[in-house]
């Protein structure tokens, strides 16, 4: 078990704490834990890359930890009506769609290697920024409603574009393997 993997597992263990802090209205603490999780993501990535500690397990764990944290925060903030329901639905549905597609490809013995697309990386950054803005507004009493709405719209658009791009790639992959087309 490498140090980066242990840090990633620690980030996964922060997910229930973050959800609990959000749903109990302890927003300053939730914001702090979110920041700690973000820093731990940067630290584990730095250590893995710069000290030759990348592992296959880490390649799976890191994105799982990121998605667990973001989706949990979105669901929690949506539950409290601090995020528009349509944004929560889009974000969660996209991730379920991608996971379902990957599982289906494994079931039909045509595993797909999921590579992050540029639009997906931009989408993830936008999702992080939106979560951070909402948590900061709640934690510190900031009036960021207009900024949050604009960011939510951007996240919605990017989530749809990212989901469509992944589905296009997945359909292309599956059609090549199942129909024999080039």
The pLDDT tens digits of the residues spanning 37-78 come to: 999 999 998 999 999 899 888 888 998 999 999 999 999 999
Residue 178, pLDDT > 60, answer no
Question: Is residue 53 within 8 Å of residue 47, measured between CB atoms?
Answer: yes
pLDDT band at 1 (very low <50, low <70, confident <90, very high): confident
- pLDDT at residue 67, rounded to an integer: 92
Tokens 């900024």 -> residue: 147
Tokens 């669901």 -> residue: 75
Tell me the CATH number for domain 3-178. 1.20.120.1760
For the stretch 122-150, pLDDT in tens is 999 999 999 999 999 999 999 999 999 99
Taking the mean position of all CA atoms in its chain, how far away is CA 80?
19
Alpha-carbon distance of 124 to 159, in angstroms, equals 9
Instruction: Measure Cα distances from 1 to 7, 19, 48, 54 in Å.
Output: 10, 27, 12, 11
- pLDDT at residue 179, rounded to an integer: 44
pTM: 0.91
- pLDDT at residue 177, rounded to an integer: 59
Residue % of the chain over a pLDDT of 90: 82
């Amino acid at each position: 078990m490498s140090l980066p993997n242990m840090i990633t597992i620690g980030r996964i263990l922060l997910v229930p704490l973050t959800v609990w802090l959000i749903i109990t209205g302890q927003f300053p603490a939730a914001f702090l834990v979110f920041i700690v999780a973000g820093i731990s993501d940067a630290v584990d990535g730095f250590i893995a890359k710069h000290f030759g500690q990348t592992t296959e397990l880490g390649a799976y764990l890191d994105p799982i930890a990121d998605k667990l944290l973001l989706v949990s925060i979105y669901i929690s903030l949506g539950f409290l009506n601090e995020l528009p329901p349509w944004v929560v639905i889009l974000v969660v549905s996209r991730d379920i769609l991608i996971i379902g597609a990957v599982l289906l490809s494994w079931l039909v013995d045509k595993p797909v290697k999921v590579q992050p697309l540029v639009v997906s990386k931009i989408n993830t950054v936008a999702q992080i920024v939106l979560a951070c803005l909402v948590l900061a507004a709640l934690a510190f009493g900031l009036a960021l409603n207009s900024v949050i709405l604009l960011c939510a719209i951007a996240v919605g658009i990017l989530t749809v574009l990212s989901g469509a791009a992944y589905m296009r790639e997945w359909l292309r992959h599956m059609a090549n393997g199942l129909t024999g087309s080039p």
